[in-house]
Chain A
Amino acid sequence: MSIHTIGVIIKDWLIGLLAGWGVPVELSRLLIEVLTWAVGAALCIIAIMLAALVFIYLERKVSGYIQSRLGPTRCGPVGILQSFVDVIKLLLKEDIVPAEADRVLHTIGPILFLAVSALAYVVVPWDEGGTVAGKVDAGVGVLFMAAVGSMGLIGIVVGGWGSNNKWSLLGAIRGAAQMVSYEIPMLLALMCVVLQAETLSLAGIVEDQKGSIIAWNFLRPWMWLPVVLFLISGVAEINRTPFDIPEAESELVSGFHTEYTGMKFALFFLAEYGNLLLVALIFSVLFLGGWLSPFGYPDPLRLPGIIWLLAKSLLIVLIVMWVRWTLPRLRVDQLMGLAWKLMIPAGFVALGVMCAVIMLGWA
């Protein structure tokens, strides 16, 4: 049973319930339509919150293991309640707005950042025929995802500008420059997948990889360069080490969120983990077959597709965390050089190879 059918069943049940109370069917349909929008939006936010809860713990444990430490152990068995404690701590902190800051901009910065991150979840195909809102994808899922992803830096810029602090502003400018630059190789890698699948719909890209693990994009040799490009630019887009110069604590205190405390800081934090999960999800959809099982199309294990999708995403998240504790941070000029001198030309090469493959009829 896919997510979509569950949604239809709930809708029918609600209509029946309302009809029992004497509400006209059309009116209850209208109400449910509006309710669906709200529930879909809420689901996106909830996905981010769950991701943050899991990833905070995971990150601390993984970094612990990589550095031969134990990580959190005190809260609950093997420290499993650590995330909750962290959240409560952040909630209880005082909310400070610097005297010279622009109050409005300072407040909407983190909200924008989180909202944009949640917006991108709208087009993620969780299961066969299921984004959060049924069929919002509308055939342009890839483009929408890239577009919304490029909006994330607005939140950073607004927050950094509104803080009225030179570290914040510098962090914001760096973040904007970095995200604008790395968007280009990311889009070029996306274009290769789009050419392969001949559709802009994320669900369509998964359909195109239908079959067992052999049919997935990452096993096609002409996809290897896009895979690498997408992973690197994805990590750069979400400002994680080794690309975290917008918040480099050795130079910029803590970059664009220097002046944030309490709940507003928590919003930035949430959105960063939300973006991490998003990049992992999109990577899984593009190259690892999304919700498909590795054992063939009607899944022999009969597991829901969302489990496979999340398992693949978790793998990517672990790789990204591993990278974080392995590579040192890049300097600003090295970062820009990597994007403009290496990755963008490589992206064009990948696109050219993809076109050649299509012309030769191998795709």
Chain B
Amino acid sequence: MFGQTVWLVLRKDFTIEVRSLEIAYTTLFFAISCVLVFAFALVQEGRAPEGGAAGILWIAIAFAGTLALGRTFERERQAETLRALLLAPAARPAVYVGKLLGIVVLLLAAELVLVPLVALLFQAPLFAHPVWLASILLTGTIGFAAVGTLFAAMLVRARSRDVLLPVLLYPITVPVIIAGVRATGALLQPEVDAGVLQVWLALLVCFDVVFVTLALWTFEPLMTD
């Protein structure tokens, strides 16, 4: 039952998205613009700064993620469908998980383009350890999206929601950004220290577990009028 609701919410979002690809295209273009802005700001005399690639990658993910989060729920608000979604005889946490998975898949798709772009523009050996990189990106994206999906859903009914989403989201997701940047940075070193990577990855997994649990627990009271 729970899994079925999750699947239905996810499929609904994808069907709508595939028709226009509005969020996918705008998020992707925005992420690429972000990387270019950093390239113009940081590259001097044709040389990229040492170790800047990890930070730039994660800033682009965070910024593009905020944009995607805002847009996903704006669509629900414009069509007045969030109320219908919440009125449906389905478990509220399942609705949350469906939305969360949609955002995670969208962001992972954006990362598929971002990672090669950053690797190319900043001469970073990001593909040297693909499994490590994939696990860092996956756990980091889930952590960021877990908090973001809950906050974006909560803010649907609030005034000045566009401004408030980043204001609330960034202070809370700081550990994800720190851990993501540090882990990716460790990956870019000539000699990869597996111990350091494991510590950061463990922190990301813990963050994911705690915040997904907390979101599932608070989604119900938060979405009730």
Do chains A and B interact in one complex? no
Q: Chain A: residues with CB nearer than 8 A to chain B?
A: none
Binding site for A on B (CB under 8 A): none
